[in-house]
Amino acid sequence: MASIMEQVEFIDDGKKVIIPRELWDKIVEALEDYGLLKAMEEAESSPLLTKEEALSLLESARKTD
């Protein structure tokens, strides 16, 4: 049996769930990869800016804050 340090424990609707740390790490990695993929897909449809345009856009956003 794995030690408690190798398990992740959480409570959902009053029920305790324990899963192996290795599985939890794989789930977290998959979610991070999915989020990165979605961000990359969104970036593909956004217009490309030159360095000067990007800096100007950032500067104007800073002035409105």
Q: What is the pTM of this model?
A: 0.54
Q: How many residues does the chain have?
A: 65
Return d(Cα 29, Cα 19) in angstroms, integer: 15
Which neighbouring-strand residues pair with 11?
16
Identify the band that residue 26 occupies on the pLDDT scale cut at 50, 70 and 90: very high
Looking at per-residue confidence, does 5 or 58 come out higher? 58
Domain assignment of residue 46, given as a range: 4-64
Domain total of the chain: 1
What's the CA gap between 11 and 13, in Å, rounded? Answer: 7
Average the pLDDT over 28-55 and give the result. 93
How far is the CA of 22 from the CAs of 7, 17, 33, in angstroms?
A: 8, 15, 17
